[in-house]
Amino acid sequence: MSKSIQQLQAEEQFLISVREHIRYVQIASTELNKVLDNPEKISYNEMLTHDASKFSDAEFPHYARNFFGAKDDKIGFDSAWMNHVEKNAHHWNHWLEDFYVVRTEQHCTPIPMPLEQISIMIADWLAAGRQYQNCWDFTYAGKDSSKPDWLNDNLGGYKPKINIHKDTHKQIDSILDRIGYNTICDNSPQYCLMNPHFINKLNISELSFRLIT
């Protein structure tokens, strides 16, 4: 069955988007490795194969249609998303017991994530912020300051939206502290970028990458 022009255009845009995301993940991973201990470091193979499942038939056309096309295939995209979580251990949802049966994150029991996968997840978050907010700092809320930033909206407060094991949360906080983020406890815990050195390094690394490619 031939694809419509709209779907072909959507797939072309999605391909560009995925490649850009992978490039940002590789930049973030390289800089993170400079502050991580050996068990936490992100391997070169993980950098090369990040989100490889997005290029599969199970995901690629559905992601393209949902983000850049007709957005008329919720069932197909839901299936693609579940496949992506199953194939990619850097997603916190991957580490929920019975997630593939229950399919509701908050009703599942989280288990601890491996150290390297936590590091990759943080690189993924940084890369997403750079791509969608045009800023490496994931406490940047964009031009609309009335909206919560991504990090605090999902991980801040006493009951985070992200359903992760307490050991995973502790490790995330440890890495965030090393890259300049501190927790401010007022009415509820909030993350704040106190030292922009790491974010500045990401900007320099991105510039260097663009100059040599």
Residue 142: predicted pLDDT: 83
The model's pLDDT over 151-197, given as tens digits with 9 standing for 90+, comes to 999 999 878 899 999 999 999 999 999 999 998 876 678 999 999 99
Tell me the domain boundaries of the chain. Answer: 5-212
Arithmetic mean of pLDDT over the chain: 93
Predicted model pTM = 0.94
pLDDT at 79 over 70: yes
Residue 104: predicted pLDDT: 67
Using alpha carbons, select from 117, 75, 123, 73 the residue that is nearest to residue 94: 117
Residue of higher predicted confidence among 44 and 213: 44
Residue 107: predicted pLDDT: 78
pLDDT at 97 over 80: yes
Sequence-distant (6+) residues with CB within 8 A of 204 are none
pLDDT at 81 over 70: yes
CB-based contact 41:87 (threshold 8 Å): no
